[in-house]
Structure 1
Amino acid sequence: MKFLHTADWHIGKELGAYSLLEQQQTAFEQMLTIAQDEQVDAVLLAGDLYDRSIPPVAAVEALEQMLRRMNLEANLPIFAVSGNHDGPTRLGAGKEWREENQLYMKTTLAEAFEPVVFGDVQVFMLPFIDPLEARVYYQIDNESNELRTINDVMARVIPDMEAQFLPDKRHILVTHYYVSGTQNADYDLTSETTSKVGGLKSIDVNQFNGFDYVALGHLHLREASPSTTVQYAGSPIKFNTKEAQSQKGVYIVDVTETGVTSKWVPLVPKKDLILLEGTFEELTDPTFYQNYERMGANLFSIKLTKPAHVADLRRQLSDIYGEIVEIQYQQNANTLAFDEQNLIAQEEKSDQDLIGEFYEQVTQTSLSAGQAAIIDETLTRLQGKED
């Protein structure tokens, strides 16, 4: 059987004040064409369909149209999970009638233990959950130290999924997490979210050894894939300047009696995101800017390498380049190094750690286990709050 693996559509996302919906629509059209040309049997959609838990109306209408065209018009089954950006309750609405049309949208932990038999494959779908949700599902007292980290959770959840394995089937998992392994050990694995509420840090790829293929979402670059069978498809378009040099696309996953293989199929952006760096004088020199397709052909992110005391600077640059999504100013090297060190240090700490440090500074005592549990629960509920 053959599958198209995609993830992180983030419908409704903006780059600066610029709407990316047109680019997202173009990427979808290409994905649908690839699926039909490759004659795939189904689509694996690994979370973050929306960019926020309460998406704008235009985003809801766009996603519903995409799912309708892919599932109802092109007759492609879809196996999807909610990601950390999605509102799982809203995304999971209409479950019964959707599944009648083979559109499987799993948004709760309980549903991870309800695999779908699809030809010679069992498809498991594990949505993004946090340790608190796992403790509630497994009825673990909040004072207990059980299932406090996401690796603890996976050590419990994955064997429970594997207990559902049918021996005569291949086993595919669709999920949405930050997974690390030997293949991406030297790669910059900055997570799509910096929040680590409840210990939401990286998961060891070896947790997934029982599956034949794991379709991952969450990190936006395919280079972040921890192995050849546990892979990130990445986002279908470029969402920020860190992704500007990367190639976007989808994986075509071929499941046979002898094993699982995959191939990368690139997507061609309607408007590419181009990074430019230089002084104002260099950027406004025709011998420089005439090297680029401009005025609506591409999006530009510009970094000025030295201060420019120019009236209407953005307007002047926009008159030359067209759509500019951001203008940055290069910082002093010492300041930049200091900021980066502090940013790294802060990102390594969870919200719970930061609150604990503040509490200790104010009271000169550490949080008790009960207080830490209350903070953990409160932060998790705030993070997932939809209304």
Structure 2
Amino acid sequence: MKFLHSADWHIGRTLNGYSLLDEQKHAFKKMLQIAIDQQVDAVVIAGDIYDRAIPSTNAVTTLDSMLQEINLKHSLPIYAISGNHDGAKRLNFANEWMEKSDFHLTTLLDEAFSPVKTSEVQIFMLPFFDPMDARVYYQEQGLDADQVKNIHTITDAMNLVLPDMEKLFDPNKKHVLISHFAVSPSADQEIELTSETTSKVGGLATLTAQQFEKFDYVMLGHIHTRNASPAENVRYAGSPVKFNVKEAKMANQGKGVDIVEVTSDKIERTFFEIQPKTDLVVLEETWDTLLDPTFYKTQPIDQAWFAITVKDFDRSKHINVRAKLQEIYGTVVELDYENVKRDDSPDVAQQNLSELSPDNIVDQFFKTITGNDLTQDQKELVDGIFVDLRKED
């Protein structure tokens, strides 16, 4: 059986206010063409289908169109699970009639113990869940109350869930798992290079590859780079789109999908890269370099989005930095500074805030960020706001 392994679509994602829907639509078309060209038997979406639990109308209609094109127009089965960004209960609808068209969507823990069976493979689908979900499930299963109370971490839960799945194994078939968790190579190794809220998997506890060793192959979502895969048979597909600067800095890793072919005697995996429609380019240069034509003419001006860090910038220049950079480069989705040089005016960060009036704090903050003083109109606006706040007190 041949799968297209994808994950972390995050439909509806934005980048500092810029919609990524067009980029996601582009990646989807490329992904679908890969599936057709490679004559896959199914498309896997290993969680984080949407970017948020309550997606926007545009996100819902976009995903609906994508899923219809895969499943109805091209008659390709879909194996999808919910991730930590998805609203599991909101996604859990119409399962019975969806399965009639080979659209298998698992969002709840109790559904994970009903594998999909083909002539060669058992496909287990384990959505993202937290330890409390496992407590509820095992309490309903009649597990001893003390054992239920001992489910505190995701590792505690998995030590029950995975063996229960293994009891369902058909010895005559390969066993494939689709899931959405942070999985490390071993207990003493942490996952780096993640797209979650910190560089250590969003602060989430990680599982280990050894816990999944009974499965022939595990298709994971949650970490946005395939290079974080903890074992040869426990793999992340990575996200199909660059979602932030951290991911853009890992440009050499590429974004794309895996084609996974499972046969009775072997499992083969091939990575297919997806080129972005509008790339996200990260520049970290001095102000003089950024304004130097010999430098910026080598950049994909007006063809890409730019995330720019200005090094050693002198705030005394008193210029509108973003406007100047957008005049040269086009769309600047993120602007930051490194080792900023300041003029001789007082720095609010170096003063005792109790010695400054609220108006002065705002004035100093504005100057720190923009390099300019507040105009008279802006000062009057700030003053009016603080007057109104005092009235409410």
TM-score (norm 2): 0.80
Alpha-carbon separation, structure 2, partners of 1:303 and 1:194:
19
- Aligned equivalents of 1:74 and 1:130: distance in 2? 35
Partner Cα separation in structure 2 for residue 152 and residue 293 of structure 1: 49
- 1:207-226 superposed matches below 5 A: 207-226=211-230
Structure 1 position 194, deviation (Å): 5.4
Give the deviation of 1:5 after TM superposition: 0.1
Is 1:260–2:264 an aligned residue pair?
Answer: no
Which consecutive aligned stretches of 4+ in structure 1 deviate over 3 angstroms post-superposition?
140-145, 182-187, 193-196
Distance of aligned partners of 1:73 and 1:65 in 2 relative to their CA distance in 1, 3 Å threshold: same
Question: How many Å apart are 1:311 and its aligned residue?
Answer: 2.2
Equivalent residues of 2:186, 2:208 under 8 A apart: no
Q: Which residue matches 2:168?
A: 164
> Identity over the aligned pairs, expressed in percent?
50
- The one-letter amino acid paired with 1:232 is Y
Q: 1:8 deviation in Å?
A: 0.1
Number of aligned residues: 329
Partner residue of 2:359? none
Matches within 5 A, 1:111-260: 111-139=111-139, 141=145, 145-181=149-185, 185=189, 188-190=192-194, 192-193=196-197, 200-244=204-248, 245=251, 246-260=253-267
1:44-79 deviation line (CA, Å, top 9, x unaligned): 110000110001100011011101101111111010
Equivalent residues in 2 for 1:62-101 (5 A)? 62-101=62-101
Partner Cα separation in structure 1 for residue 222 and residue 133 of structure 2: 19
Please provide the CA RMSD for this pair.
2.1
Deviations 1:286-329 (A, max 9, x none): 1110001111x111100011234342211111111111110011
Contact 1:149 1:200 in 2 (8 A): no
* Distance of aligned partners of 1:235 and 1:184 in 2 relative to their CA distance in 1, 3 Å threshold: farther
Q: Please give the residue correspondences for 1:311-330 in structure 2 after superposition, counting only pairs within 5 Å.
A: 311-330=319-338
Partner deviation per Cα, 1:169-200 (whole Å, 9 max, x = no partner): 1111000000000599476254625599xx94
The answer as to 2:285 corresponding to 1:278 is yes
Segments of 5+ residues of structure 2 without an aligned counterpart are: 341-393
Aligned residue number for residue 52 of structure 2: 52
In 1, the alpha carbon distance for the partners of 2:306 and 2:188 equals 29
Higher RCO, 1 vs 2 (CA within 8 Å, ≥6 residues apart): 1
Point out where structure 1 has 5 or more consecutive residues left out of the alignment: 333-387
Match of 1:299 in 2: 305
Rounded Cα–Cα distance in structure 2 between residues aligned with 1:115 and 1:72 = 22
From 268, 274, 296, the equivalent of 1:289 is: 296
**What amino acid is the match of 2:286?**
T
Moved more, 114-123 or 29-38: 114-123
The one-character-per-residue Cα deviations of 1:87-109 (angstroms, maximum 9, x if unpaired) are 01111112122111111110000
Quick one: distance in 1 between partners of 2:228 and 2:310?
A: 30
Secondary structure in structure 2 of the residue aligned to 1:253: strand
